[in-house]
Amino acid sequence: MRSRWPVSAERGSVTAEFAAALPAVIVGLGLCIAGVQAVAQQAVLTDRAAVTARLLGRGDVPPDPPGGQTSTTEREKGMVCVRMSAPVAAIGLGGLGPAVNARACALDESAVEGP
């Protein structure tokens, strides 16, 4: 009489396949989370560059960029432009990830001639 169940040589094959696939799923999930964090950091950096450009355009002194971020300022044709850069601070990537860049410009009110 034949058994309906697989022979004992095939027992545990599902467990082995699961054990091989689980790390790939975890790595994929980690990369997705890191991507979402990078997009969120890009949005924050863009906002920070816009605020800094507006402050410089009014003649105010902007705050120093937080640790790890760099900021450069350019004045051209009545505009003040700020370019900010920071390494991606995603979980698990450390300093290995790419850099996030943002650029914003505002009217340079100190360069505008009054009536």
* 103 sits in which H/E element: strand 99-107
Summarised one tens digit per residue, pLDDT across range 69-115 is 889 999 988 899 999 998 887 666 566 678 889 999 999 887 666 55
The reported pLDDT for the residue numbered 88 is 83
Domain segments of the chain: what residues? 11-107
**Any idea which of 7-16, 17-26, 57-66, 79-88 has the lowest mean pLDDT?**
7-16
DSSP 42-77: HHHHHHHHHHHHHHHHHTPPPPPPPTT-EEEEEEET
